[in-house]
Each structure stands twice: as C-alpha cells, then as structure tokens.
C-alpha cells in the first residue's frame, strides 16, 4: 500500500522531533555525548507517547555512520534501514508473541555473533512485561553481562509486572503523557502540511480525546479527515467524538452556580431526550467542575488546564464571584456520588438528585473572611464598650444614660457643692487604691471562692474553664490552695509555666498583692471502688479529644472576644446522638 496513516507518516525520526519527553531525551543525548551508553534500557509509560520511536532513534544514534551521535543523519544506509525496519543488526521483537523460554534461548545463541554492518547489535523488545517468568529468569545472566556489542532496549506499559531482578539490571526511563496543547500544536503542523482546514477548537477536542497519547490523537485526526474531507467543521467532530453533551456542560454549571434547581432539571431532560448517556455525561461533568476549580485556583496559569482558549474564557467568566470553597464543595458532592451513579440502574434519577443538592447548597464563606469579620467586630467592641455586636448602642447602657439624665441635680451653694465634689473625688481615689478584696478570718470561704472565679472568668475565660472544676482548699499564711482530682485533663496545662504565670498575674490583680497559688491533687476517696481500666482508657481518650478541642485557636479567639462566653461541654463526634 502506498498510503501511510498519519501516525506512521509523522513518526519522529530524531530526538528533536519527540514531544513531551524532555527529561528522557536530554539524558539519552548526554549519555551519547559522554560515551556512557548503558547495556540495557527500560522505556515505560502510557501507550502512544513515543517509547518505540525513541528506541529506534536511539538505535540510529548509536549505529549512524557518523556516530555515535546525538543527531543521526537519517540518510546513511544504517539509518535508512533502521527507519524502514529492515536492519539486520536492529531487531524489534514483540514480547507478547515471543514470550517463552525457547525464544529467549534462541536470542541468547544469536548474541555471540558480531553485528553485520553496524557498530552495535540492538534488541528492541516491545511489551516486555508479557514474557513468562521462566523467560525472564533465562535472560538474567545475559542481561547483566551481555557482550560489548549488544544493547537491549525494553518497552512496556506495565512496569509493575517486570521482575525486580530485571529492573535492577537496566536503566529505567519513565515516559509521560503528552499535554493537550503539545498534541494540538503537532496536529496543527500536520494539518498545514496536509492541506486540512480545521478550527483551533476542533484540534483541541481531538487532542483531548487522545488522552495524552500522540498516536491516538493522530489516528482520530486521520479518521476525521476520512469522514469530513479536507475541511473539518466542529459539528463533524461532535458527531465523530460524541461531543453533543459538551453544549450542556456550561449551561448546567451556570444553572448550578445560580442556584436554579428547576433549570438544572430542564437541562437534564433535554439532554436525556437528545440521547445523552447519563453515566458518560456525569464523568464529563466531573471533569468540567474540576476545570472550574482549577481556573479559580491558578488564575492566569494555563499549564494545569488542557482546554481550548474559548472554553478557558467561559470558565473564567463563570468562576467570577464564586468562592473557591463553594467550587470545592460542589466537586466533593460530584465525587462522592460517582460510584453510586456508575452502579445505578437509573443514572438519570441519581444525577437529578445530585444536581438538586448542588443547586440548593449555600455559598461557602472562606475561613479567612470569617476571621476578618470577627477581628473587625472585636475592634469595634473594644473601641466602644457601649456598642452591641451589631454596632448600635447597647440597650442597658442607653437606659442608664437616660436615667442619669432624668435625675435632678441638688441645688447647693456653689462653695458647698465644690467642697462636696472634692470630698467625693478624694474618697473615690482612696477607694481605687484600696485593696479590692480583704481577707478576714470571719469571711465566708465559699463567697471568696465564687468572687475569685468570677474575676478570673472576666480576665481569662479559657483559664477559668480549666480552674472552674477545682476545689477550694483554703487561704492559709497568704497562700491560695486549689485542689483537683487525680487525672484531671487540664492539670498539666495549669502547671505549665505560661499558664501558671498568667494565673499568678490575675490572682495579684484580684487580691492587690502577690499571692502564691498552690495546685494540689485531692486524695482519693477510700469508699469508692477502684476504677475500671477499660473505662479509664476510654475516658483518657475522650479527655484527650476535649483537650484538643478546647485548645483550638479559633475557640480561644471566640472566648476572648465575647464576654461571658463559656464552654459547657465537649462532645466527641462519634458519641454525639444522631
């Protein structure tokens, strides 16, 4: 046959023509330049990314009449024979059909013969993972110490099936998927050379359908030319590639972001009667919301997005005014329902219920924005104590001001009034410098303990929550004694240096003098039965959960912000009643 398919006609013939495998090409070229060519290579990666093509180019580079060279001439006898696949010194073996031990024995017998016309005898074994275990074992010794004129190049799509003993004797190169943009550029070059007219969007669709494989994309392009001729329209590609569902994607995501559940159901109904495969459409929708999320995250950086420029503009338009958290939550819902829709006997119903959930999802507010609002509220409250959280004067303060305004001012001679006011100011100053709490032997310890805890709660709600379960043991010789049960979860926190310093500081403010605080452990009640070890372990785990919860920075911020806020109880999630 005179006709060659595009995948064979446009196969790379030099290292410079290979796309998407820069790390492999650079290493191989440097190996040739510095004369460090290994005796065995393994090229692994997805289908159609250039493994066998690079193996042929490597063979030409080593056997070129001007070589070894990084740029084979492709015109000498050796290069032309390798390109045409008729070289006697470069053998390409299909590992799937020559997988037995007998074939490996025959190969070993032929290794001892020198090349006929070339510098190296090169064996390219494709799909080498198909060899049997016996064949691999027979190849071990030869592969480790082959003759100096022999080079092995293995190609495989499943490296995990190759024994570790073989991998350790070879240099392994991982081939990557080729990006949609690189494939589209290559197809554009082919279209110009072949005289084919096609839109950039059509090329992007074909490149995306290739799924990272250059050979697959070129085959699809060849099929499109056979279908539509030299002028390929977008609607032709929609029919070939089954892309009729793409027209529903943007309208559906727009309806979800507008929180219009009725519109979502209407779009699904139209798609259903248009012949959409609901399971396939769900996978496409999942990829569409992934693109929306990536567009929101990376912004102008298009390296993560393998989409056409027109689609990228529409993605950016839809993500305007939508938070990243909202898009992340919508994608989470789709991912959570993926397996259910794959197994469902009625995927349309599952898809409709999923879309309704997504449409009615409340917009997610970023945590940074919440903290910013809380900080702003704290600043307003601290700058004006009489303001309520909403920013208006507090009701109690307003009534107090009105009451003071209504009270009559006693009429006294000016001198007497000044004298009384001066005496009042002196008395106020005296009261301010007097101790706030005087300890007397006759004073009720319970009242003192309650007053002390109330004062501690105003100064530090978080520290108060840890001290509050304590027991008053007395105020003897100027020392405050507080007792806690053995194993109390916050006992270590209270005895921590920073916490203890804060407690002493608040205690000094309360008593208007330095008062040492002794933290003691209460003696166990002998009448109580010994604790259950299993119960103690469970309680210890719950106590750890409570400690972690109460030490959360956000919780401490809330407690410090709102006066009177307290933590009544911490309930582990798995213990919460459903």
CB distance 363 to 257 below 8 Å: no
Average per-residue pLDDT for the chain: 80
Domains of the chain: which residue ranges?
6-174, 180-241, 246-359, 445-528
Task: Tell me what pLDDT residue 412 has.
Answer: 43
| 544 confidence band (pLDDT: 50, 70, 90) | low
| Beta strand pairing call for 479-484 and 471-476 | antiparallel
Going by the DSSP 8-state scheme, the letter that residue 468 receives in this structure is T
* Start-to-end Cα distance in the chain: 72
pLDDT bracket for residue 435 (50, 70, 90): very low
- Looking at the DSSP bridge assignments, the partners of residue 476 are 479
Q: Provide the CATH number for the domain formed by 246-359 in this structure.
A: 1.20.272.10
> Does the pLDDT value for residue 421 go beyond 50?
no
pLDDT grade for 496, boundaries at 50, 70 and 90: confident
Q: 434 — phi, psi (to 5°)? A: -80, 155
Q: DSSP secondary structure string, 399-421?
A: HHHHHHHHSPPP---HHHHHHHH
Q: Is the pLDDT of residue 407 over 90?
A: no
- Which pLDDT score is estimated for 384? 61
Domain 180-241 sits in CATH at: 1.10.8.60
Name which of 13-27, 109-123, 208-222, 382-396 the model is least confident about: 382-396
**Arithmetic mean of pLDDT, 215-223:** 94
At 81 the pLDDT is 93
Supply the pTM of this predicted model: 0.58
Is the separation of the CB atoms in 127 and 118 below 8 Å? no
Residues 143 and 108 sit within 8 Å (Cβ to Cβ): no
Q: List, in sequence order, every beta strand (DSSP E) within 88-170.
A: 90-94, 121-126, 150-156
- For residue 480, what pLDDT band results from cuts at 50, 70 and 90? confident
pLDDT at 276: 83
Q: Report residue 174's pLDDT band, with 50, 70 and 90 as the boundaries.
A: very high
The per-residue pLDDT for 546 is 66
- Per-residue pLDDT at 485: 83
User: Which CATH fold would you assign to the domain 445-528?
Assistant: GMP Synthetase; Chain A, domain 3 (3.30.300)
Please report, rounded to a whole number, the percentage of residues in the chain having pLDDT higher than 70. Answer: 76
Write the pLDDT tens digit of every residue in 352-390. Answer: 999 999 999 887 766 666 677 777 777 776 666 555 544
pLDDT at 40: 94
Mean pLDDT is highest, among 238-247, 440-449, 514-523, for 514-523
| Sign, Cα dihedral of 22, 27, 29, 33 | positive
Range of lowest pLDDT (66-80, 227-241, 367-381): 367-381
Rounded to an integer, the average pLDDT of 123-130 is 93
412 vs 314: which has the higher pLDDT: 314
Residue 302 predicted with pLDDT over 80: no
C-alpha 370: how far from its chain's center?
22
| CATH homologous superfamily, domain 6-174 | P-loop containing nucleotide triphosphate hydrolases (3.40.50.300)
Cα–Cα distances in Å, from 25 out to 11, 424, 448?
16, 93, 82
């Amino acid at each position: 046959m005179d006709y060659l398919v595009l995948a064979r006609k446009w196969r790379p013939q030099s290292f410079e023509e290979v796309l998407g495998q820069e790390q492999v090409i650079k290493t191989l070229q440097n190996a040739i330049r510095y004369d460090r060519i290994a005796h065995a290579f393994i090229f692994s990666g997805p289908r159609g990314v250039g493994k066998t093509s690079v193996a042929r180019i490597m063979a030409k580079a080593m056997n070129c009449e001007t070589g070894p060279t990084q740029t084979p001439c492709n015109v000498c006898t050796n290069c032309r024979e390798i390109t045409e696949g008729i070289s006697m010194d470069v053998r390409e073996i299909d590992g799937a059909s020559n997988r037995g031990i007998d074939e490996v024995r025959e190969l070993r017998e032929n290794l001892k013969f020198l090349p006929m016309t070339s510098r190296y005898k090169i064996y390219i074994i494709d799909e080498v993972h198909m060899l049997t275990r016996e064949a691999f074992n027979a190849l071990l010794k030869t592969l480790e110490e082959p003759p100096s004129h022999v080079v092995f190049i293995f190609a495989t799509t499943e490296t995990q099936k190759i024994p570790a003993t073989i991998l350790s004797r070879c240099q392994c190169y991982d081939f990557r998927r080729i990006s949609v943009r690189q494939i589209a550029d290559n197809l554009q070059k082919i279209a110009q050379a072949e005289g084919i007219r096609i839109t950039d969007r059509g090329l992007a669709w074909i490149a995306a359908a290739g799924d990272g494989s250059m050979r697959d994309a070129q085959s699809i392009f060849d099929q499109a030319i056979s279908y539509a001729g030299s002028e390929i329209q977008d609607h032709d590609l929609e029919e070939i590639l089954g892309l009729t569902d793409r027209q529903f994607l943007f309208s559906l995501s727009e309806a979800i972001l507008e929180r219009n559940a009725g519109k979502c159901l209407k779009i699904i109904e139209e798609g259903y009667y248009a012949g959409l495969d609901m399971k396939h459409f769900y996978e496409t929708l999942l990829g569409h919301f992934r693109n929306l999320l990536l567009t929101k995250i990376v912004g102008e950086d298009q390296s993560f997005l393998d989409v056409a420029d027109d689609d990228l503009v529409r993605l950016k338009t839809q993500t305007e005014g939508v938070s990243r958290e909202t898009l992340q939550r919508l994608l989470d819902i789709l991912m959570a329902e993926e397996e259910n829709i794959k197994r469902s006997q009625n995927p349309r119903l599952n898809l409709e219920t999923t879309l309704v959930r997504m449409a009615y999802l409340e917009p997610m507010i970023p945590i940074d924005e919440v903290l910013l609002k809380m900080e702003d509220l704290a600043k307003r409250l601290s700058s004006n104590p009489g303001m309520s959280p909403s920013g208006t004067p507090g009701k109690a303060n307003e009534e107090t001001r009105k009451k003071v305004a209504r009270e009559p001012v006693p009429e006294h001679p000016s001198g007497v009034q000044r004298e009384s006011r001066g005496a009042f100011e002196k008395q106020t100053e005296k009261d301010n410098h007097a101790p706030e709490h005087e300890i007397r032997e006759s004073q009720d310890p319970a009242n003192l303990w309650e007053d002390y805890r109330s004062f501690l709660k105003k100064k530090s709600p978080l520290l108060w929550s840890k001290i509050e379960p304590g027991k008053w043991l007395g105020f003897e010789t100027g020392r405050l004694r507080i007792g806690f049960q053995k194993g109390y979860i916050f006992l270590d926190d209270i005895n921590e240096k920073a916490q203890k310093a804060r407690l002493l500081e608040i205690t000094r403010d309360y008593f208007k003098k330095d008062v040492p605080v002794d933290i003691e452990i209460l003696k166990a009640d002998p009448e109580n039965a010994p604790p259950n070890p299993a119960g103690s372990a469970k309680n210890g785990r719950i106590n750890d959960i409570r400690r972690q919860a109460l030490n959360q920075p956000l919780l401490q911020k809330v407690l410090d912000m709102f006066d009177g806020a307290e933590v009544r109880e911490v309930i582990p999630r798995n213990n919460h009643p459903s």
